[in-house]
Structure 1
Amino acid sequence: MTSRKWVQFFMKTLVIGAIITLIIGLAFDVNEYALFIKRGEYIKVALGLFGLLLKGLLYSVYSQMGFFAYLTIHRFGLNFFKSIRLWNIVQSVFIIFALGDLIYLRYIDVAHGKGSILSYLIPSFALLVVGVVVASYKAKATNKDAFVPALFFMTVITIVEWIPALRINQQLEMFYMVTTLLVCNSYQLLTLHKTLKS
């Protein structure tokens, strides 16, 4: 990839992250922004929108760091195991453990092992569904061996990128971040091969 292509790729992902977070923020706080506008408190509106844009840019940077880290990990895994099939088995094991840990560790840490575990299943299940859909598109666009690496990236790497919001444990912040990460990760994964060919 040339430096020009990389800069374009980076900037497009930044813009996508900012726009997604801005849309989600406006959707959740539309009444609050409407009230500010009605009162003529335009500075609060501007500061709120600016804050959302900054969050989106930050989440996008997390996404891009995770993506390029994964490209390095993937290359290392291929070189170490000498077989795409064996490396895919290893990645599949990591996917199972990561999704399981997202359920169990959060249940223990947040709910202290009390109450229903059902609400802690939803994030893992949602990540898995999105991951399978995106990985299926990636496999169709490139080759069938790309499915497991794509699923690994969309689940395991997204969970790692999501850790700052998981630690805070504020539902809205977690939703902002994971949605932006998933969109940015999907964009990068599904367009990288096109960017390299162009």
Structure 2
Amino acid sequence: MTIRNWVKFFFNALLIGGGITAIVGLIVRWEFFSQYVASGEYIEFIGAFLWMIFLGFTMSVVAQMGFFAYLTVHQFGVNMFRSLTLWNWVQLLIIAVVLFDLIFFRFQLTSENTGRTVLYLVLLFTLLATSIVTAYYKAKWTKKHALISALFFMIVITTLEWLPALMVRSGNIDSWVTILLFPLLAVNAYQLLMLPKYNRKSDEDKAKLEERREARKLAKAK
């Protein structure tokens, strides 16, 4: 990928992360924001809203680091197992382990708190549904064997990026766990689906640059 296209890729992902976090944060933490509106403290409201956007930018950067780390891990896995089929089975096993850990250890669901249980089941459904849809389109738009790898990235890598929030046990953590999931999913889905487009655009740009160089050489030769 050329530097120019990488910059576009980076800033588009940044805007997605910031925008999604701001919208979800406004909805989930409306009780917090509404007190500024009710008291006419609009400067404070704008400041809190901008902070949400900045938080989204941060999560976008985390997601992008996770994406490029996964590209390395994926290539390492294919080389180590010397078979894409075997590597896919390993990825499916890791997905199962991560989901088990997520449900039974990270969520810490109890029958005593029905509201919290429903919230985390909805978040789990959101993670799985978004991952499946993204993986489906990734396989449809590129190659069928990309389905398992896309699922692995969307479920396992997103969960690892989400893990710091899940490990906190104090304060209004359920709200932040909810808010932080959505920018990670949105940015990861964007990266997975749009990377081939930027790679193709980079190849086209390189070809055009080479054509201009050849044209200049011919002009000088004349």
Contiguous gaps of at least 5 residues in structure 1? none
TM-superposed CA distance for 1:129, in Å, is 2.2
Q: Find the residue that maps to 1:115 and give its secondary structure.
A: coil
> For 1:50-129, what aligned pairs fall within 5 Å after superposition?
50-106=50-106, 110=108, 115=111, 119=117, 121-129=121-129
TM-superposed CA distance for 1:35, in Å, is 4.4
Write out per-residue CA displacement over residues 81-129 of structure 1, whole angstroms, 9 at most, x where no aligned residue: 121111111101100110111011125xx45xx5379935554443222
Separation in 2, partners of 1:37, 1:89: 52
TM-score (norm 1): 0.89
Q: Find the residue that maps to 2:111 and give its secondary structure.
A: coil
Task: Tell whether the 8 Å contact from 2:29 to 2:175 is kept in structure 1 after alignment.
Answer: no
Greater mean alpha carbon deviation, residues 162-171 or residues 17-26 = 162-171
> What is aligned with 2:188?
185
Separation in 1, partners of 2:99, 2:45: 38
Larger C-alpha radius of gyration, 1 or 2? 2
Task: Tell whether the 8 Å contact from 2:17 to 2:59 is kept in structure 1 after alignment.
Answer: yes
Greater mean alpha carbon deviation, residues 22-31 or residues 58-67 = 22-31
Separation in 2, partners of 1:157, 1:163: 10
Letter in 2 for 1:66: G
Letter in 2 for 1:52: M
> What is aligned with 1:13?
13
Please, which of 167, 171, 182 is the counterpart of residue 174 of structure 2? 171
Contiguous gaps of at least 5 residues in structure 2? 202-222
TM-superposed CA distance for 1:192, in Å, is 0.5
> What is aligned with 2:197?
194
Separation in 1, partners of 2:112, 2:198: 45
TM-superposed CA distance for 1:31, in Å, is 5.7
- Tell me the matched-pair count: 194
Report the CA distance shift for 1:32/1:98 in structure 2 as closer, same or farther (over 3 A): closer
TM-score (norm 2): 0.80
Report the CA distance shift for 1:22/1:99 in structure 2 as closer, same or farther (over 3 A): same
Report the CA distance shift for 1:23/1:126 in structure 2 as closer, same or farther (over 3 A): closer
Task: Tell whether the 8 Å contact from 2:123 to 2:178 is kept in structure 1 after alignment.
Answer: no
Instruction: Kindly report the root-mean-square deviation, in angstroms, between the aligned alpha carbons of the 2 structures.
Output: 2.1
Q: Find the residue that maps to 2:197 and give its secondary structure.
A: helix
